[in-house]
Amino acid sequence: MAEGRGRELLERLGESVLVADGAMGTMLYARGVYVNRCYDEVNLTQPDLVRGIHREYLAAGADLVETNTFGANRFKLQPFGLESRTLEINRRGAELAREVVGPRAFVVGSVGPLGRPLDPRRLQTEELLEAFAEQITGLCEGGVDALAIETQNNTAEMLVAVRAARRVAPDVPIIASATFAEEGRTLGGETPEQVALALGESVDVVGANCSEGPSDMLETVARLVTATTRPIAAMPNAGSPKLIDNRVVYLTSPEYLAEYARRFLHAGAALVGGCCGTTSAHIRATLAMVRSVKPQRVQVQVPAGAMEPAPALPPPTPTAAKSPFAAKLGRKFVVSVEVNPPHGFGVEKVLEHARALQAAGVDVVNVPDGPRASARMSPMSLAQVFRQELGLETVVHFTCRDRNLLGLQAELLGAHALGQRNVLVVTGDPPKLGDYPNLTAVYDVDSVGLVRIIADLNRGRDLAGTAIGTPTSLLVGVGANPGAVDFDREVARLAAKVEAGAEFVMTQPVYEPRLLERFLEAIKPWRVPVLVGILPLASYRNAEFLHHEVPGMQVPAEVRERLRQAPTGEDAAAVGVAVAREALRLTRGMVEGVYVMPPLGRIGAALKVLEVLED
C-alpha cells in the first residue's frame, strides 16, 4: 500500500486534471476472452494479457490505471468456484498493474457492486461489509494507490463499500462513482445531488461512470459539481453497445469522446476517462484534448427541486379494493386451483378445465410461470384468455428467474394494463431442474425484492423512483413452506416478504397438519391470509419424484408407503385423493383458503378433493 502515492494523487487532482484509463472488459473481449469467462481470473491464468492492456493505456498517456478486479468479490466469483481465491485474485490484479506502471502512473483498485440477488432496498449490511473488506484487503496487499468504488447503482451499498475501505485502509483515497440511468437517477432512485450529499466527506472523489454515454453524463457531471466540494470524475461508456456479427461493438469514436471530455472539464470535472467500450485510442484522444484546453470549474444552474428529497409516495389502494378475490380474502374461505399453461398455443383443453372449475364455484384459478423451469405459454396470455372467454379471475405467478429488473417491471405494468390484479411472487426454480439446464437464469432480485418493487408500483413509482402516473393496484401473494427443513429461515423470509408488502400466502403442499399448525403459530405476530396448499398425489412414483427431486417438497414416508401398497394405478390415485381430502379436512379451520395443485393436470382429482368442503 503506497500511502505517499495516494497523497500525491489527491494533491495533483487539486492542481490539475488527470486522465484515467478506459475499459478493461472491452479490451479482454476484443482479445478473445468471451463473456462466459471470469474476467478477474485472467489475472491468474493469463497475466501477460492483463499486463499488455495496462501497457496500452500507459502508452496512451493514462495517469491512472485500474486493476482488473471489477467483479473480484466472493459473490461474483462463486459461480466460477473461485470464491476461496478472492484475496489472491485481487492481490495479483494490483501487482500486475504495479509491475507495468511503476512510478509513471497511479494504480487504482477497481471495486464493483457485489451483484447479489438481494432485495435492492434491504441490504444485509454485515455480510456485504465483509465481502467488500475481503476484496479491498487483497487490493491493498497488492499495492494500490487508491480505490475506485465504481458502477454503484445503490447509494446504501456504496456507503457499505466506503465503510469497508475505511476500515481496511483508512489512508487510501477513495474515488466513489455511481451509475445513472437515462432518467438521471440510480437504480435505487437517487439523483446525482442525493448521491453526492449521501457520500459527503466520506470519500475523496465523487463521480459517475458506466450506463450513460458522453452526452447524458454531461448533465450528471454539472449537477454533481453543484452538490459537493470534492473533485468530480467522469467515466462515460462509449455510447450504447450494438451486436454486430455476434460481437458486442461500441460505436462512439475517440474524437467524440474527447470532445465531451473537453465539455466535462469546462463543467468542472477534475478526472476524466472511459468505461465500457472505450479503448486506448479513446484515452489517447482524451489526453490530447485535456492538454489543449485550460479547464475551469463553473457553477451550473441546477433544475428547481433537484436538491429536494423525493416527494412522499401516495398511499396504496386498500387490499380489499384491488380485486374481487382480494375482497374475499379473510371474509370467506376462498378456493384456488392451479391450471398449468400448455406447452403449445392450443388452449382448448385448459379452457375445458377452467370451465369445470368455474362451474364448481372455484374463486380463482392459479396460472404458474414456467413451472419446473419448462417452456410453456406465457401465464399472462393464458390469464387473458380466461378473462376474455370465461370472465374468470386468475392469480398469475411471476418468477425472478427469467427477467431482469426492467423486464419484470415492464411485465407487471403490462399485466395491470390488461386487467390482471392478482399476482403470486416466487423466486423460481433454477433452469437446471427443467428442460433447458444450460440456460442462464437472471435472478436480479429474489422474491422479497420483487414484492418491494410491486409495492413501489402500487404507490406510483418504479424502482428508479420515476413516477409512473396512476399507481397500480396489484394484490401481492407469496409462497411459503410450512415443512421447510430450515424452519427458522423460512419464517424469517416470510416475515421479510410481508414487511415488503405481501398481502397473502399460498403454501407448499401440506400432508401433516401439525406442521401447518406450528407454522401458523410462528407467523401469528404479522399474520396475513393463508391458503393451504393441497396436492392429491397421482401415484407412488409421483410421490417419490416430488419428495426426492422437487425443491421444497416433502411427502411423509407413511403417505408414500400407502401409495406403494396400492394394487393398481387407479387405486393409488384414489389413495392420493383420500390423503388430500383428509389434509384439507384437518386444516380448513386453521386458514383462510385452499390452493389445490392437481397432479399432472388432473382437474378431476382437484374437484374430488374439494368435495370435502361440502361436508
Task: Sort 598 into a burial class: Cβ within 10 Å, 0-12 / 13-18 / 19+.
Answer: buried
CA distances from 497 to 108, 163, 227, 501, 523 (A): 39, 28, 36, 6, 12
| Cβ-proximal residues to 227 (8 Å cutoff; 6+ apart), any chain | 192, 193, 196, 197, 302, 307
pLDDT band at 298 (very low <50, low <70, confident <90, very high): very low
Q: Collect all residues with Cβ–Cβ distance below 8 Å to 4 and sequence separation of at least 6.
A: none
What is the C-alpha to C-alpha distance for residues 203 and 6, in angstroms, rounded to an integer?
Answer: 13
Euclidean distance between CA atoms 431 and 438, whole angstroms: 7
Let me know whether 347 and 217 are in one domain. no
pLDDT (tens digit per residue) in 375-427: 778 889 999 999 999 999 999 998 887 788 888 889 999 999 999 999 999 88
Using CA atoms, how far apart are residues 214 and 586, in angstroms rounded to an integer? 65
pLDDT band, very low/low/confident/very high, at 141 (cuts 50, 70, 90): very high
Neighbours of 74 (CB within 10 A): 19
- 249 and 140 in a single domain? The answer is yes
pLDDT for the residue 463: 73
**Which of the four pLDDT bands, split at 50, 70 and 90, describes residue 119?**
very low
For 577-588, write each residue's pLDDT tens digit: 999 999 999 999
Q: How many CB atoms lie within 10 A of CB 171?
A: 10
Domain membership of residue 463 (yes or no) is yes
> Would you say 170 and 179 are in contact if contact means Cβ atoms under 8 Å apart?
no
6: three-class secondary structure by DSSP: helix
Question: First CA to last CA across the chain, in angstroms?
Answer: 77
Do residue 143 and residue 282 come from a single domain? yes
The pTM (predicted TM-score) of the whole model is: 0.60
Short-list 570, 550, 572, CA closest to 560: 572
Residue 297 pLDDT grade (very low, low, confident, very high; cuts 50, 70, 90) = very low
The answer to whether 287 and 80 have CB atoms below 8 angstroms apart is no
Phi, then psi, of 456 in degrees rounded to 5: -65, -45
**Based on the domain organization, do 124 and 238 belong to the same domain?**
yes
Q: Are 405 and 270 within one domain? A: no
In-domain check, residue 401: yes
Do 384 and 246 lie in one domain? The reply is no
Share of the chain above pLDDT 90, in %: 58
CATH code of the domain containing 415: 3.20.20.220
β-pairing, 18-19 with 504-509?
A: unpaired
In this predicted structure, what is the pLDDT of residue 449? 84
Can you tell me the distance from the alpha carbon of 142 to that of 2, in angstroms, rounded to the nearest whole number? 10
- Which domain, by its residues, includes 238? 3-292
Q: pLDDT digits over 211-220, tens only?
A: 778 888 999 9
Residue where one domain finishes, among candidates 226, 257, 292: 292
In a domain, 548, yes or no: no
| CA dihedral angle for residue 42, residue 155, residue 75, residue 117, rounded to 10 degrees | -120
Residue 605 belongs to some domain of the structure: no
Domain match, 271 and 123 both: yes
Whether 421 is covered by a domain: the verdict is: yes
- Are 231 and 348 within one domain? no
pLDDT of residue 424: 95
Q: Are residues 86 and 182 in the same domain?
A: yes
Amino acid 46: pLDDT: 95
Residue type at 167? R
| Burial (CB count <10 Å: 0-12, 13-18, 19+), residue 266 | middle
Residue 213 lies in a domain: yes
pLDDT category at 306 given cuts 50, 70, 90 is very low
Total number of domains constituting the chain: 2
* 63-67, 353-357, 536-540, 604-608: range with lowest mean pLDDT: 536-540
d(CA 272, CA 353): 63
H-state helical runs in 66-107: 74-77, 86-101
pLDDT band, very low/low/confident/very high, at 465 (cuts 50, 70, 90)? low
Of the residues 422, 453, 480, the one at which a domain ends:
480
pLDDT above 70: residue 302: no
Asked whether residue 348 falls in the same domain as residue 284, the answer is no
- Domain membership of residue 607 (yes or no) is no
The answer to whether the beta carbons of residues 424 and 398 sit under 8 Å apart is: yes
pLDDT of residue 431: 60
* Mean pLDDT, rounded, for 345-367: 92
What integer best gives the mean pLDDT of the chain? 87
Please indicate, yes or no, if residue 177 is contained in any of the structural domains: yes
Mean pLDDT, residues 151-170 taken together: 92
Among candidate residues 258, 292, 326, the one where a domain is terminated: 292
The answer to whether the beta carbons of residues 283 and 205 sit under 8 Å apart is no
pLDDT over 50 at 434, yes or no:
no
C-alpha cell at 607: 374437484
In the three-class reduction of DSSP (H, G, I as helix; E, B as strand; rest coil), residue 463 is classed as: coil
The two beta strands, 241-244 and 247-250, are: antiparallel
Strands 106-111 and 64-66 come out as parallel
User: In the chain, count of helices (H) and strands (E)?
Assistant: 23, 18
375 and 435 fall within a common domain:
yes
**Which of 394, 464, 447, 459 minimizes the C-alpha distance to 422?**
394
Does residue 520 surpass a pLDDT of 90?
Answer: yes
pLDDT in tens, 533-574: 999 988 888 888 877 776 667 888 888 888 888 888 788 889
CATH number for the domain harbouring residue 21 = 3.20.20.330
Nearest by Cα to 432 from 401, 407, 403: 401
Per the DSSP assignment, residues forming a β-bridge with 334 are 593
Q: Give yes or no for residue 50 having a pLDDT over 90.
A: yes
Instruction: Tell whether 264 and 391 lie within a shared domain.
Output: no
Which pLDDT band, with edges at 50, 70 and 90, does 461 fall under?
Answer: confident
